């Protein structure tokens, strides 16, 4: 069974560094980079990843202190050129200045203030209650069936449902939104083409534009209605801005959260002592959630563009340079975490940067924590034993990390 687990990914040695391209999805899916990150943190904490024939070079920042310094300063390091390698290397993102994550300055602050009201613990209370019911049902079904793909049959049913609740997507349309989302974003579907993905993305945007038009008529209390009824810098948001920001909740909050849930199941399988600690109460759900977030780090990096000549960690950075900060490395930084290579579900403090840091700190962090907490509590209370029954499949991405499939047998408590 061991060979199916992620731990058997090829370990890349630091002396291979010169041949590596950190933008290559295969590298992240198929290998274990922890030795490379450790080497970079120690010897070259701000590393230049050279240009290729088709893409410019970029800086890779690997120490926790430098990562948070870049995150903190959206004046020197803007998100408006794109906030992930995919768009930064392609020369920008057409939604810049309109979608929250790739907007900076006063417009970002105003848009964020509006959205924050929908993401407060109080506003999320009914959604979190529904997440808990969903988790309970999905685990019960998986236990009854005996075997399941934990990614497709359990994790996939949780975050998108919560986002549809937030956006007020009618029940009748949910299956449609779910299938469009997986065609638009499926990073582990070998059969889908770029054209299929583009069509599905356009259909999702049109669907949200339609919902936005309905919401302008009033009588609703969801995020779309909130955006439709708000002004930013004295002007109402147009339909494009509303649909882009709705779509961004799916982009930001669906696959990331799913990957951390699947990663949680794998982590418990691979660390029986920690599974035991969770079951007997030696580790509480709150600290376990934070450690799972650190351990899985579903968003490997964030990206910025330098707006001025500056420095990071003592290295000179020039105006216009692409600067990527690697959450995956910062979350293993031995300067911050004691024994970072160990999974410790009762770890405190736990200053991971899984949700970033500073002005763009993840808007959905409370919801994501509640979702992962519900899964951990469900596994603890409903499942007596788990066994892996087939090979797990990684997602292929330089941004997302984790498993797209994890066949398991779950035995009820």
Closest among 398, 403, 412 to 155, alpha carbons compared: 403
Residue 163 touches ligand HEM, criterion: CB under 6 A: yes
Residue 363 touches ligand HEM, criterion: CB under 6 A: yes
Binding region for ligand HEM (CB under 6 A) out of 222-230, 255-263, 271-279, 337-345: 255-263
With b for 16 or more beta-carbon neighbours within 10 A and e for fewer, the 61-75 pattern comes to bbbbebbbbbbebbe
- Cα 248 from Cα 242, distance rounded (Å): 10
Residue 354 touches ligand HEM, criterion: CB under 6 A: yes
Measured from the CB atom, is 101 or 262 closer to ligand HEM? 101
Peptide bond into 312 cis (omega under 30): no
- By the 10 Å C-beta count (0-12 exposed, 13-18 middle, 19+ buried), 88 is classed as buried
Residue 252 touches ligand HEM, criterion: CB under 6 A: yes
DSSP state of 150: I
Residue 265 touches ligand HEM, criterion: CB under 6 A: no
Task: Please select the residue that binds ligand HEM; options are 78, 83, 388, 397, rule is CB under 6 A.
Answer: 83
H or E, element range at 326: strand 322-326
Measured from the CB atom, is 207 or 357 closer to ligand HEM? 357
- Cα 68 from Cα 406, distance rounded (Å): 33
Distant-in-sequence, close-in-space partners of 272: CB < 8 Å, separation ≥ 6: none
Binding region for ligand HEM (CB under 6 A) out of 176-184, 189-197, 352-360, 404-412: 352-360
The interface mask with ligand HEM, positions 34-73, x = CB under 6 A, is: ----------------------------------------
Measured from the CB atom, is 45 or 303 closer to ligand HEM? 303
Residue 299 touches ligand HEM, criterion: CB under 6 A: yes
> Can you give the binding site for ligand HEM, defined by CB under 6 A?
79, 83, 100-101, 112, 159, 163, 248-249, 252-253, 256-257, 260, 298-299, 302, 354-356, 360, 362-364, 367-368
């Amino acid at each position: 069974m061991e060979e199916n687990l992620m731990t058997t990914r090829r370990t890349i040695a630091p002396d291979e560094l010169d041949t590596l391209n950190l933008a290559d999805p295969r590298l992240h899916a198929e290998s274990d980079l922890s030795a490379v990150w450790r080497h970079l943190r120690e010897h070259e904490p701000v590393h230049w990843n050279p240009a290729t024939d088709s893409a410019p070079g970029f800086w890779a920042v690997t120490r926790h202190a430098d990562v948070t310094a870049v995150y903190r300063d959206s004046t020197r390091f803007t998100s408006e050129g794109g906030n992930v390698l995919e768009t930064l290397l392609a020369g920008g993102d057409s939604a810049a200045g309109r979608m929250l994550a790739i907007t900076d300055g006063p417009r970002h602050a105003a848009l964020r203030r509006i959205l924050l009201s929908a993401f407060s613990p109080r506003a999320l209370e009914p959604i979190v209650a529904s997440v808990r019911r969903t988790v309970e049902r999905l685990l019960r079904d998986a236990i009854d069936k005996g075997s399941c793909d934990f990614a497709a049959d359990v994790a996939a049913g949780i975050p998108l449902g919560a986002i549809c609740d937030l956006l007020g997507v009618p029940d009748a349309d949910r299956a449609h939104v779910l299938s469009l989302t997986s065609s638009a974003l499926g990073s582990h579907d070998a059969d889908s083409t770029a054209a299929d993905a583009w069509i599905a993305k356009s259909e999702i945007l049109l669907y949200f534009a339609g919902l936005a038009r309905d919401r302008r008529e009033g009588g609703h209390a969801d995020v779309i209605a909130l955006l439709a009824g708000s002004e930013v810098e004295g002007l109402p948001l147009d339909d494009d801005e509303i649909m882009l920001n709705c779509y961004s909740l799916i982009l930001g909050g669906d696959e990331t959260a799913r990957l951390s849930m699947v990663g949680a199941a794998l982590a418990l399988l691979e660390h029986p002592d920690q599974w035991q600690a969770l079951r007997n109460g030696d580790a509480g759900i709150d600290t376990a959630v934070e450690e799972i977030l650190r351990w899985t780090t579903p968003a490997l990096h964030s990206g910025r563009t330098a707006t001025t000549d500056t420095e990071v960690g003592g290295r000179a950075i020039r105006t216009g340079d692409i600067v990527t900060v690697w959450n995956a490395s910062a979350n293993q930084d031995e300067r911050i975490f004691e024994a970072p290579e160990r999974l410790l579900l009762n770890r405190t403090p736990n200053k991971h940067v899984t949700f970033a840091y500073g002005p763009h700190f993840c808007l959905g962090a409370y919801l994501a924590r509640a979702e992962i907490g519900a899964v951990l509590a469900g596994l603890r209370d409903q499942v007596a034993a788990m066994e892996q029954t087939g090979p797990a499949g990684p997602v292929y991405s330089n941004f997302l990390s984790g498993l797209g499939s994890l066949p398991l047998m779950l035995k009820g408590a």
